Amino acid sequence: MSISLIKPGIKVLLVDDEAFVAKAMTRILENEKDIQLFHCQDERMAIHMVNKILPTVILQDLVMPHIEGLKLVTLYRINKNAKEIPLIVLSANEDPVVKASAFALGANDYMVKLPDKLEVIARIRYHSKAYIRMLQRNEAYKRMRLETEKREREASEKRAQKLRAEMYNREMKIQKKFIDSFAASIATAIDEKSPYTGGHVKRVVDLTINIAESINNTNDGFFKKIFLSEEEIEELKLAAWMHDVGKITIPDHIIDKSSRLETIFDRIEAIKIRFQLIAKNYQINYLEKYIEALKKNLDINSLENHNVDIDKLKIEFEKQIKELNEEFQFIKMANDPGNFISDENIDKINKIAKKTFIIDGLEETYLTKDEIKNLSISSGSLNNEERKIIENHAHMTLKILKNLPFPENLSNVARYAGAHHEKLDGSGYPHGLSSDEIVLQQRIIAIADIFEALTARDRPYKIPMKISKAISIMESMKNNGFIDRDIFDLFCNNKIYLQYAKKELSPEQIDC
C-alpha cells in the first residue's frame, strides 16, 4: 500500500489518549474537504495505524498511559513507512527542554495544545504538502533512475549483441575460410590423383558459379523470379568443390584408364613382347626346318629323294611373321578406346586369342581371358566392372559428405554434390532420381560437370573437343531429357561457356 501521488489527499493521524482532543481536532478539520482525520487513542496501536493508513502527517501527544510520546517519536523514525512522515508533537508541555528533545528525536514541529484552528490547519497543510512533494520527487527520481537503468541495460544489451554478432561473424569467416580451404585441398588431392583430369574440380566450380551468377542476373523469362542468395551460392560452391570427392576411393588405374588393356600399366606392351616371342618361335622353327632340309639335301648316301624346297620354307615363315604382325596391329587398334569394336572385330579377337605358342614346354594362348574381355569393349576404355566402380564415386561422394556435421547454412552440400550424375529422366546414378527430386543446384553442377568433361584438354587419350561439338552433344542430352533445358539454354544464350573457354580452353577449341 502506498500514497496515491496522482491525486494525493491529506491524511492526519492523531495519536492522543484524550477523547476531547480528538473531538476538538474533528471540529477544527470538519470543513476541510481535502483533509482526512484518523484518531488512534491507544498509543500501542500507533505504529500499526501508521502502516495501515499511511498518513501525510502525525499529530503526536507526549503524555500517554502506556508508551511515552517521545519514545513513540523514536519508534516512528525507525519504522520504514513512518520514518519520513512529518511529525507534529502536540503537547501541553511548554518546557523548552522537552521541545528540544522532541526535535532531537526527529519531530518536525511542536504545538502546544490546543492550538489555534487556523494555525493547526496551516501547519497540517504545510507539512503534508511538503511530505507529498518529497514523495513525488522521490518517485520521479526513482522512475527516472529506473528508466536510465533500463536505457543503460538496453544500450549495454545492444553493445553485447553487436559484440556477439561481430564475434559470430568473425568465427563464421574463420570457419568458412577453413571449410573453403579444406574443400580446395581435398579437391586438389583428387585432381592430383589423376594427372589426366587435374583441375577438373576447380573448373567445375568456376562453371557452376558462372551459371549461378548468370541466373541471378537474368531479369526475364524462366529465371526472372529465381535468385540464389549469397549463402546459397556459398553452399553451391562448396558442393561443386566436393562433387567428385568419392573418386578418392577409385583405384588410380581405373580413374585414368586410357586404353582398354590398361591395368597398372598398359598390357599392350606385354602382348607386344609376347608376339615378339612368338615371332622368335616361328624363326627358330623355320631355322630348325631349314638346317634339317640342308642336311637331307646334302646327304648323298641316302637312298630316298630328300630334295626339300628351302624357298617354300622361307615363304611359309615370312607368311607367319606377316600374319603375326597384322594380328598385333589389329590388337593395337582394338586397344585404342577411340575405335569402335564391332561384333566382327570381337570374332577376330577371339580367333587370334585361341591361337597357341609354346613357352618353356607349355602351350599358351595368344591372349588371356581378361585381355579378350577388355579388348572386346565396344566403346571407351572401361569394362562393365570398371564402369560400375567409376559410377560408384557419386555414391561415395554422398556417403563421405553426408556424415560431416556441416553448419546449417551448408546443410545441403552432400545432397547437391552427390547428385551430379543424376539425369532428369531418372536414368542417372547413384539413385536414379526423377526430375521432381532434382533441385536447381544439382542441375547446375551436372551441366558444369558435363561441359568440363567434354571440353577438357588435359587428357592425352582424347583430342580436345571443340565447343560446337560439346554444345551439340549437350543439346541432344537436353532433347533426350537428361539435363535441364532452361539452364542449358541460358548457358548457350548468355554464352556462359565463352568466358570459361577464354580462360581454360585452347584457341582451336573456341569455334563459336
Total site size for Fe ion, rule CB under 5 A = 2
Nearest CB to Fe ion, comparing residues 244 and 256: 244
With a CB cutoff of 8 Å and minimum separation 6, the contacts of 385 are none
Nearest CB to Fe ion, comparing residues 50 and 239: 239
**Residues 15, 70 contacting (CB under 8 angstroms):** no
Strands 362-365 and 356-359: antiparallel
Nearest CB to Fe ion, comparing residues 191 and 244: 244
Nearest CB to Fe ion, comparing residues 43 and 449: 449
Nearest CB to Fe ion, comparing residues 59 and 445: 445
Q: Which stretch binds Fe ion (CB under 5 A): 7-15, 38-46, 325-333, 444-452?
A: 444-452
The separation between the first and the last C-alpha atoms of the chain, rounded to the nearest angstrom, is 90
Separation between Cα atoms, residue 180 and residue 247, nearest integer Å: 19
As measured in angstroms, the least distance from the Cβ of 413 to Fe ion is 15
Q: Is 206 in the site for Fe ion (CB under 5 A)?
A: no
As measured in angstroms, the least distance from the Cβ of 187 to Fe ion is 10
Q: Which stretch binds Fe ion (CB under 5 A): 109-117, 215-223, 442-450, 482-490?
A: 442-450
As measured in angstroms, the least distance from the Cβ of 258 to Fe ion is 17
- Listed in order, strand segments (DSSP E) in 70-213 are 87-91, 109-112
Nearest to 448 by CA among 245, 186, 200: 200
As measured in angstroms, the least distance from the Cβ of 432 to Fe ion is 16
**Residues 156, 162 contacting (CB under 8 angstroms):** no
Separation between Cα atoms, residue 228 and residue 226, nearest integer Å: 7
Q: Which stretch binds Fe ion (CB under 5 A): 72-80, 122-130, 239-247, 457-465?
A: 239-247
As measured in angstroms, the least distance from the Cβ of 497 to Fe ion is 17
With a CB cutoff of 8 Å and minimum separation 6, the contacts of 21 are 14, 61, 90, 113, 114
Q: Which stretch binds Fe ion (CB under 5 A): 67-75, 96-104, 171-179, 449-457?
A: 449-457
Nearest CB to Fe ion, comparing residues 256 and 449: 449
Q: Which stretch binds Fe ion (CB under 5 A): 37-45, 243-251, 335-343, 434-442?
A: 243-251
Q: Is 244 in the site for Fe ion (CB under 5 A)?
A: yes
As measured in angstroms, the least distance from the Cβ of 201 to Fe ion is 7
**Residues 25, 120 contacting (CB under 8 angstroms):** yes
**Residues 107, 88 contacting (CB under 8 angstroms):** yes
Looking at 256, 449, 484, 504, which residue binds Fe ion (CB under 5 A)?
449
Nearest CB to Fe ion, comparing residues 331 and 445: 445
**Residues 316, 285 contacting (CB under 8 angstroms):** no
Q: Which stretch binds Fe ion (CB under 5 A): 56-64, 75-83, 241-249, 363-371?
A: 241-249
Q: Is 386 in the site for Fe ion (CB under 5 A)?
A: no
Half-sphere exposure of 336 (CA within 13 A, CB side): 12
Dihedral sign (CA 412, 246, 196, 187) = positive
Provide the H-helix boundaries in 90-116.
96-105
As measured in angstroms, the least distance from the Cβ of 445 to Fe ion is 8
Nearest CB to Fe ion, comparing residues 334 and 446: 446
As measured in angstroms, the least distance from the Cβ of 179 to Fe ion is 20
Nearest CB to Fe ion, comparing residues 244 and 327: 244
Nearest CB to Fe ion, comparing residues 69 and 418: 418
Q: Which stretch binds Fe ion (CB under 5 A): 1-9, 131-139, 301-309, 447-455?
A: 447-455
As measured in angstroms, the least distance from the Cβ of 313 to Fe ion is 58
Q: Which stretch binds Fe ion (CB under 5 A): 16-24, 70-78, 236-244, 475-483?
A: 236-244
Dihedral sign (CA 336, 337, 339, 343) = positive
As measured in angstroms, the least distance from the Cβ of 421 to Fe ion is 6
Nearest CB to Fe ion, comparing residues 110 and 241: 241
Q: What would the DSSP string read from start to end of 253-313?
A: HHHT--STTBSSSBTHHHHHHHHHHHHHHHHHHHHHHHHHHHHHHH-TT-SS-----HHHH
As measured in angstroms, the least distance from the Cβ of 249 to Fe ion is 12
Q: What would the DSSP string read from start to end of 379-399?
A: SSS--HHHHHHHHHHHHHHHH
In whole angstroms, how far apart are CA 45 and each of 19, 54, 61? 16, 14, 14
Question: Residues interacting with Fe ion, by CB under 5 A?
Answer: 244, 449
